[in-house]
Structure 1
Amino acid sequence: MVRFDCRDEAAAVRFDELTAVAVREITELEPGTLVYATSVVDGEPLARVFYEVYRDRDAFRAHEEADHVRRFHALKDPLLTGTRVEFLTPGAAKGLP
């Protein structure tokens, strides 16, 4: 799970545009990425949260090393004031493989 905090409203708009492209590329090019869900945080219009589920660690590494993901990181980073990454270990759930 990753939380991104955008600098301002213009940065949030651009971040969302970049995210739409990245999600399309991830969907097309990454069979090992099982879930890549993006959200705006209620009550915090400059915050975004991504929930990501990968088939395994190799799929995660492939995601991080992919050209389209590296490009996304390079373009989005100047738009942000903060990023918080948390690795989760799944517990009881519905909808996960």
Structure 2
Amino acid sequence: MVAGFGLVVRFTLRDGESAEGFDELVSRTLEGILRYEQGTVVYVNHRVPDEPHVRVFYELYESRAAFEAHERQPHTRHFLAEREKFVAATDVTFLEHIDGKVQTAR
């Protein structure tokens, strides 16, 4: 089981076409994560029912060092700079593992 280092990020998007642009930016960023980040275990963008201008990320890394490596990646730095076009507010909650279940490949 990966104890890891996690976070939940709640983004409140600007009105207009921000949701579409933000989701596209996340998809482009995910390409780099999939290709270059072995230490990123989970990186998921969620839509919130009945809140079309909210996105919630769940991120899990093998370790704090893997998270710090993620932050240094060019695709992550690009995301952090570009997201401001779409985001009105950001709320980050860092997580420490206590217990749980992780589904492994069958």
- Same fold? TM cut 0.5: yes
Q: Which has the larger radius of gyration?
A: 2
One-letter amino acid of the counterpart of residue 46, structure 2: S
Counterpart among 71, 78, 93 of residue 86 in structure 1: 93
Using the aligned pairs only, state the percent identity.
41
1:29 pairs with 2:36: yes
> What residue is the counterpart of 1:2 in the other structure?
9
Following superposition, the deviation at residue 28 of structure 1 comes to: 0.8
Higher helix share: 1
Say if 2:61 is the partner of 1:54. yes
SS of equivalent to 2:68 = helix
Number of equivalent positions:
97
Amino acid at match of 1:23: L
Separation of aligned partners in 1, 2:34 and 2:100: 23
Question: 1:38: Cα distance to partner?
Answer: 1.1
SS of alignment partner, residue 87 of structure 1: strand
TM-score by length of structure 2 reads 0.85
Q: Is the strand fraction higher in 1 or 2? A: 2
Cα drift, residue 78 of structure 1: 2.1
CA contact under 8 A between 1:12 and 1:46: conserved in structure 2?
Answer: yes
The secondary structure found in structure 2 opposite 1:88 is strand
Q: 1:57, CA displacement in angstroms? A: 0.8
C-alpha RMSD of the superposition = 1.4
Q: Gaps spanning 5+ residues in structure 2: where?
A: 1-7
Could you list the structure 1 runs, at least 4 aligned residues long, displaced by more than 3 angstroms after superposition. Answer: none
Q: Is the 8 A contact 1:3 1:47 kept in 2?
A: yes
